[in-house]
A and B are shown apart, each in its own frame.
Chain A
Amino acid sequence: DADVTQTPRNRITKTGKRIMLECSQTKGHDRMYWYRQDPGLGLRLIYYSFDVKDINKGEISDGYSVSRQAQAKFSLSLESAIPNQTALYFCATSDSGQLDYGYTFGSGTRLTVV
């Protein structure tokens, strides 16, 4: 099994629908992140969580919400999807005590809003 698992891998949804992207990890890391990737823009941070009771907005949080259900689970919701939220979404984890070891990423969810 992958260290960081994202579901679904691909999703097509209609404008206005609510959608949830899920992420689970087996790394035992305390920190989890949601990033969005668009061509030419790199990865942009949506939300992050340093602990189960900690939720922080990132660079582009408008239109998104998150829930940290357990140390190993971090879900991203789009309350009312719009076409410009079409993108590749990545979940990542890190260990607060070993930041130089980098982030571990999932394989991504490709979301299309029509």
Chain B
Amino acid sequence: TQLLEQSPQFLSIQEGENLTVYCNSSSVFSSLQWYRQEPGEGPVLLVTVVTGGEVKKLKRLTFQFGDARKDSSLHITAAQPGDTGLYLCAALNTDKLIFGTGTRLQVFP
């Protein structure tokens, strides 16, 4: 059973477009993290959100934690080829991280 479902699974867009990736669960979490993974490397932490309704910005990336702390979204404004990668959400479940299924993003010049 996958506790964290991400959508879409794949996304292919042109440079300059905006996009949103979703992470959904039926469980409530104390915090949620987003990671980006590039080919040949391990995931790297982008952000941690801990409060329901919280919004965090990291340059062109905006992360939001749902009010009920069951879901989260990642919005990228004016995507660039350097944003290409696998985006993973993750949440603590009894002291260890569980990961979502991932969204593979490809941004073409």
Contacts and interface: CB of A to CB of B under 8 A. Distances in A.
A37 B9 CA distance: 15
A100 B31 contact: yes
Interface of A is mostly: strand
A33 B41 contact: no
A101 B42 contact: no
Given A102-B33, A107-B42, A42 B102 contact: yes
B42 A106 contact: yes
Interface residues of A, number: 24
26 contacts: A4-B42, A33-B96, A33-B97, A35-B99, A40-B101, A41-B101, A42-B4, A42-B6, A42-B100, A42-B102, A43-B90, A45-B96, A45-B97, A48-B96, A58-B96, A90-B43, A94-B97, A99-B31, A100-B31, A100-B33, A100-B48, A100-B50, A101-B45, A102-B33, A102-B48, A105-B41
